[in-house]
Amino acid sequence: MKIAIGLYPGFTALDAIGPYQVLVQIPDAEVVICAEHLGDLADDMGHLHLDIAHTLDDVPTPDVLLVPGGVVTRTLAIPGTPIVEWIRDAHPTTTWTTSVCTGSLLLGAAGVLDGLRATTHWCSLDLLAAHGATATSERVVIDGRVITGAGVSAGIDMALTLVERLAGVEMAQAIQLGIEYDPRPPVDAGSPDKAPPEIRDLVAAVLAEAESAAGVTTAPA
């Protein structure tokens, strides 16, 4: 079983590494981290650099496809970009096609989400709907053979859900225990419903500013 995590410059690190840490522990699964080009690839914050050893072309037919999010997805989520073309070409033969956070915008641009329920980061639900999905704010959404996770950290929950489907509940339990995933956030503001309104407005404004800085000015047609 080949699991491909497809990256691009400006991906959000935890979106990819949360699921990586879960999926890489499935026996007999081969996890391949790939991107358009070999060599250095920086995340959206610019302080993490990966050394990419496999191109997207090296992994044309993965059994499981996973794409993370990042502010730059707002500009990449159009037909013709390398990551979207890779998804479009690979999806017909995957067992599962999956995303974390705004990675679902890339799935949408590849035509994967037409008529499906899906999720994304809480700030991007409107944008996801514009890509043909029925957007929902659930943490993990399974529709057909597509699984989407909500923002950033939801990739861990998405990946454990995927492990249940791929290898059974005992494997999901074993991996959860191996990474001691018994979360206890010291604060309780992890969703827009739980956060104080002024914190919610602040985060939405910071993300809008980041989108603006990335040159994103309009929603997709």
- Residues forming the active site: 101
Residues 28-57 that bind a second copy (CB under 8 A): 31-33, 39-40, 45, 47-53
What's the maximum distance between 2 C-alpha atoms anywhere in the chain? 47
| Residue 80 CB, nearest approach to a second copy (Å) | 28
**Rounded Cα distance, 139 and 137, in Å:** 6
Taking the least distance from each CB to a second copy, the nearer of 69 and 108 is 69
Residue 208 makes contact with a second copy by CB under 8 A: no
Which sign does the torsion angle of CA 77, 83, 88, 91 carry?
Answer: negative
Residue 9 makes contact with a second copy by CB under 8 A: no
Binding-site string for a second copy from residue 135 to residue 154, where x marks contact by CB under 8 A and - marks none: ----xx---------xxxxx
Residue 24 makes contact with a second copy by CB under 8 A: yes
Residue 92 makes contact with a second copy by CB under 8 A: no
| Residue 155 CB, nearest approach to a second copy (Å) | 10
Q: Site for a second copy (CB under 8 A): which residue of 79, 144, 178, 215?
A: 178
- Residue 74 near residue 102, CB atoms below 8 Å: yes
Q: Site for a second copy (CB under 8 A): which residue of 1, 129, 130, 174?
A: 174
Residues lying near a second copy in the complex (CB under 8 A): 12-14, 17-18, 20-21, 24-25, 31-33, 39-40, 45, 47-53, 101, 121-122, 139-140, 150-154, 156-157, 160-161, 164, 169-170, 172-174, 176-187, 189-192, 194-196, 199-200, 202-203, 206-207
